[in-house]
Amino acid sequence: MSVQALTFLIVGLSFALYIGIAIWSRAGSTKDFYVAGGGVPPVMNGMATAADWMSAASFISMAGIISFVGYDGSVYLMGWTGGYVLLALCMAPYLRKFGKFTVPDFIGERYYSQTARVVAVVCAIFICFTYIAGQMRGVGVVFSRFLEVEVDTGVYIGMAVVFFYAVLGGMKGITYTQVAQYCVLIFAFMVPAIFISVMMTGHVIPQIGFGSTVVDAAGNDTGVYLLEKLDGLQTQLGFNEYTEGSKSTIDVFAITAALMVGTAGLPHVIVRFFTVPRVKDARTSAGWALVFIAVLYTTVPAVSVFSRVNMIETINGPDGKGVAHETAPDWIKNWERTGLIKWNDKNGDGLMYYGKGKIDDTSTNEMKIDNDIIVLATPEIADLPAWVIALVAAGGLAAALSTSAGLLLVISTSVSHDLLKKNFLPDISDKKELMYARTAAAVGIVIAGYFGINPPGFVAAVVAFAFGLAASSLFPAIVMGIFSKRMNKEGAIAGMVLGLGFTASYIIYFKFINPAANVPDNWLFGISPEGIGMVGMIINFVVAVVVSKMTADVPEEVQQMVDSIRFPKGAGEASGH
Amino acid sequence: MGFDSNEKALSYWRENLRLVLGLLAVWFAVSYGCGIVFADALNGIHFMGFKLGFWFAQQGSIYVFVALIFIYAYKANALDKKYNVHED
């Protein structure tokens, strides 16, 4: 069977599985729709959280980015895992005890203010749309390369599938589908990683393999450490050493912090901890989520190193002078067709050469290689069997679909529950609310699909936005709401508005108004727009504390509510009323 | 109120804060400390074929994060039992 037929078969089977699960677990009430009835076992919830969290970017792009920036890529690895420690220790158990459906629910009630609730809703919706546009694009890219359909058609198919199980199943359908999607995506990521690790270092475990010595084609140990070899290659080609990186320490620090805190403030992650039966389960569930995430996140840096070495050697050849384009392996030609690899024979010698610099400047570099192909091309680079390639396609789709569904749910909940039920239409029945939730999810899919087909050029730039926003607005408000009984609505709102305002202005200035000025010399304390959320968070905390000291005390009943969320006893199921 | 007395509630919360802050100190030390601020210094040491600072940044810190959450879950559950505020 050809690669393409196999891909159709495996992707088709995985889609049939997701839809089957959705029909089996469809939602009957708003409680099913919002929090899966509050009865998901912690290990399963952990797995679903992991699938929800690991997006098309984690699966497809991250290994590629790290492959190109080396040590600097650590910000993503630590930032997108360390946030779970904050979630588990400072948020999840208390929010579970609080026992409502959404993040704006908590902010609105804790700060006894509709204004605070609306600020939280706006943040949540903005963050989710930012994110989901990228997912639909990921679906389109996978379809176009592996199934050779138009990117647009790919996006339509993806929309239809997500529509089916998110609108029908709500959180319940999504959670059980995500469990299946986690299994597909992790299997798809690990198989090529293990193959390539064995090939290059003789180790079955990639996490150990990339620290080991290289074996040659005949399987003999060469005694050269892989990372030392890579550092050597990098220096030769004019790059920084792979293990050293080039960002300043303060910027690495700030970006890691902004991503960690942002992770802990993302509404689609927080809401997962409303779905478990008990406070105890919220604690362990966060642990399981991180275990399942860590399997991928510790393999990613290994894949980055393997593919970097492989790629340099394939293009520049064993002598480092370049390989003739005519004799280039098939994967280079396959990806050239998609425009994600480009070759510009500057010196006209017919040889490909990869080095430092851009493809169209005066440097010796003749290759442009897109981040996104590193993972997708790994099985081809390593000459793995066709079914592995098909599997990677299904894995990339699973990652994109699971994340989109989780995000859509937050969007629909924010609209039907936080805006309509809690603001404009307090008297609607459960059935009506459920209908609004489904409608909102459907509208959300259409908008997401539109951005997938017509991607705004600023998708990459707005990702910094999503994390900066979450870090500088939602995270401090939630943490202070739990850990300080004195924090009042004036303090919280002032903190959110100023933290958010500062972060947003900084990012908008450097990313949109004056991108030319986006260089380290102009940055505040040398912190890039990606890391500025850390400063925004500090501003939020400071402003909130100062303002709360000068304004009225927190009402007695709210103080009692804070007391009651601080211990588990008496936690009922999550409820909306 | 789930506690026998206000003193109990207060000391439960203090113990909880001590637990959380202790674990967060480790969280900070492995990631921001070993993985970022002291990474260059630690890179002089080799560990299983890795430079140690690089290993902490791309591997070690993640393993520690996982361990921290489970330690927290275990200890927090024990604390609930001690003060009799666990769920049924």
pLDDT digits (tens, 9 = 90+) for A204-243: 899 888 888 888 777 777 778 888 888 888 888 888 888 8
- State the virtual CA torsion across A111, A115, A117, A120 in degrees, nearest 10: -110
Chain-chain contact of A77 with B80 (C-beta, under 8 angstroms): no
A383 touches chain B (CB under 8 A): no
Among the partner residues A74, A226, A257, nearest to B35 by beta-carbon distance: A74
Q: Dmax of chain B from CA atoms?
A: 56
Number of Cβ within a 10 Å radius of residue A526 = 15
H/E element holding A301?
Answer: helix A279-316
Chain-chain contact of A82 with B31 (C-beta, under 8 angstroms): yes
Buried b (16+ CB within 10 A) or exposed e, A543-558: bbeebbeeeeebeeeb
Best of A85, A256, A303 to disrupt the B interface (most B CBs within 10 Å) is A85
Q: Which of A153, A156, A297, A304 is nearest to A234 (CA)?
A: A304
Q: What average pLDDT does the structure give for chain A?
A: 84
Chain-chain contact of A84 with B69 (C-beta, under 8 angstroms): yes
Beta carbon pairs, A and B, within 8 Å = 136
pLDDT score recorded for residue A60: 81
pLDDT score recorded for residue B79: 92
Q: Which of A366, A353, A364 is nearest to A320 (CA)?
A: A353
pLDDT at A543 over 90: yes
d(CA A76, CA A66): 9
Judging contacts by C-beta atoms under 8 Å, the chain B residues touching residue A243 are 43, 51, 54
Judging contacts by C-beta atoms under 8 Å, the chain A residues touching residue B48 are 208, 211
A213 touches chain B (CB under 8 A): yes
- Tell the residue number behind the tokens 């450490």, with chain if given: A225
Helix (H, G, I), strand (E, B) or coil at A223: strand
Average pLDDT score over residue span A428-440:
82
Interface pTM (ipTM) of the complex?
0.95
Chain-chain contact of A81 with B61 (C-beta, under 8 angstroms): yes
pLDDT score recorded for residue A292: 95
pLDDT score recorded for residue A576: 47
Chain-chain contact of A257 with B32 (C-beta, under 8 angstroms): yes
How much is the CA Rg of chain A, to the nearest whole Å? 24
Among the partner residues A66, A249, A298, nearest to B59 by beta-carbon distance: A298
Judging contacts by C-beta atoms under 8 Å, the chain A residues touching residue B86 are 280, 568-569
Distance from CA of A197 to the nearest CA of B (A): 15
Q: Please answer whether residues A69 and A255 qualify as being in contact, where contact means their C-beta atoms are separated by less than 8 angstroms.
A: no
Among the partner residues B35, B37, B76, nearest to A283 by beta-carbon distance: B76
Average pLDDT score over residue span A260-284:
87
The full set of domain ranges for chain B reads 30-88
Q: Please answer whether residues A378 and A196 qualify as being in contact, where contact means their C-beta atoms are separated by less than 8 angstroms.
A: yes
pLDDT at A545 over 90: yes
Give the amino acid at A504: A
Judging contacts by C-beta atoms under 8 Å, the chain B residues touching residue A209 are none
Better pLDDT: A541 or A422: A541
pLDDT score recorded for residue A464: 66
Judging contacts by C-beta atoms under 8 Å, the chain B residues touching residue A290 are 65-66, 69
pLDDT at A149 over 80: no
Q: What is the pLDDT of residues A74-132, one digit of tens each?
A: 999 999 999 999 999 999 999 988 877 788 889 999 999 888 888 888 888 888 877 77
Judging contacts by C-beta atoms under 8 Å, the chain B residues touching residue A77 are 57-58, 61-62
Distance from CA of B13 to the nearest CA of A (A): 8
The conformation of residue A271, written as its DSSP 8-state character, comes to G
Q: What is the pLDDT of residues A169-211, one digit of tens each?
A: 777 888 888 898 899 899 989 999 998 888 888 888 998 888 8
Among the partner residues B77, B84, B87, nearest to A571 by beta-carbon distance: B87
Q: Which residues contact B22 (CB under 8 A, 6 or more apart)?
A: none
Q: How confident is the model at residue A471 (pLDDT cuts 50, 70, 90)?
A: very high
Judging contacts by C-beta atoms under 8 Å, the chain B residues touching residue A69 are none
Among the partner residues B50, B61, B80, nearest to A211 by beta-carbon distance: B50
Distances (CA, A) of A265 to A20, A104, A113, A476, A477: 32, 12, 20, 8, 9
Q: What is the pLDDT of residues A475-485, one digit of tens each?
A: 999 999 999 98
d(CA A277, CA A97): 10
A89 touches chain B (CB under 8 A): yes
Quote the percentage of chain A above a pLDDT of 90.
19
Judging contacts by C-beta atoms under 8 Å, the chain A residues touching residue B63 are 294, 298
Residues of B at the A interface (Cβ-Cβ below 8 Å)? 1-3, 9, 12-13, 16, 20, 23-24, 27, 31-32, 35-37, 39, 43, 48-51, 54-55, 57-59, 61-63, 65-66, 68-70, 72-73, 76-77, 80, 83-87
Average pLDDT score over residue span A406-418:
82
Q: Which of A510, A338, A401, A504 is nearest to A180 (CA)?
A: A401
Q: Please answer whether residues A11 and A397 qualify as being in contact, where contact means their C-beta atoms are separated by less than 8 angstroms.
A: yes
- Tell the residue number behind the tokens 């590193």, with chain if given: A374
- Chain B residue with the nearest C-alpha to that of A301: B58
Q: Which A residues in the span 252-291 are in contact with B, Cβ-Cβ below 8 Å?
A: 252-253, 256-257, 260, 278-280, 283-284, 286-287, 290-291
Q: Please answer whether residues A350 and A325 qualify as being in contact, where contact means their C-beta atoms are separated by less than 8 angstroms.
A: yes
Distance from CA of A52 to the nearest CA of B (A): 18
pLDDT score recorded for residue A459: 53
A226 touches chain B (CB under 8 A): yes
Q: How confident is the model at residue A577 (pLDDT cuts 50, 70, 90)?
A: very low
Would you give per-residue pLDDT tens digits along chain B (88 residues)?
A: 578 888 888 999 999 999 999 999 999 999 999 988 888 888 888 888 888 888 999 999 999 999 999 999 999 999 998 888 888 7
Helix (H, G, I), strand (E, B) or coil at A179: helix
Average pLDDT score over residue span A317-342:
82
Distance from CA of A303 to the nearest CA of B (A): 12
- Chain B residue with the nearest C-alpha to that of A277: B87
pLDDT at A27 over 80: no
pLDDT score recorded for residue A457: 54
Judging contacts by C-beta atoms under 8 Å, the chain A residues touching residue B16 are 566
- Chain A residue with the nearest C-alpha to that of B29: A82
A305 touches chain B (CB under 8 A): no
Q: Which residues contact A236 (CB under 8 A, 6 or more apart)?
A: A320
Distance from CA of B40 to the nearest CA of A (A): 8
